[in-house]
Amino acid sequence: MNKIRWSARSRDDLKAICDYISKDSQRIARSYTSRLVNSVERLDRFPEAGEVLVKFGEFDYRQISFGSYQIVYRHTGKIIDIVTNVHAARLLDPTDMS
């Protein structure tokens, strides 16, 4: 099993997603973010499931998609670091991974 660690940035991103959706419905916001977290937790068994981010020359970073969001992570050893959660309509920028 791998350990999943959420960076401060990714936790802030998750909160922002929940806050945005909760403008329409708090129940839907909680459900959506819970399902997003569950999709990330599957990485503990399948850490290489995500697509490698070669567009930045960064082979250490991968991404999985959930709904309209890209979840960017690094897998090193037994640790999976969730780096950021970016809306798919937004272009992913290398500074998102710092």
pTM for the model: 0.86
Percent of the chain topping pLDDT 90: 72
The average pLDDT across 57-67 equals 85
pLDDT given for residue 29 in this prediction: 96
- What is the CA 4 to chain-centroid distance, rounded? 11
**How far apart are alpha carbons 22 and 71 in whole angstroms?**
20
Report all structural domains of the chain as residue ranges with CATH numbers, in order of start.
3-90 (3.30.2310.20)
How long is the chain?
98
Residue whose C-alpha is closest to residue 31's, from 41, 44, 17? 17
Residue-wise pLDDT for 64-91, tens only, equals 999 999 999 999 889 999 999 999 888 7
DSSP per-residue string spanning 4-43: EEE-HHHHHHHHHHHHHHHTT-HHHHHHHHHHHHHHHHGG
7, 81 contact by CB (below 8 A): yes
Residue 56 clears pLDDT 80, i.e. is over it: no
Residue-wise pLDDT for 37-55, tens only, equals 999 999 999 999 999 987 7
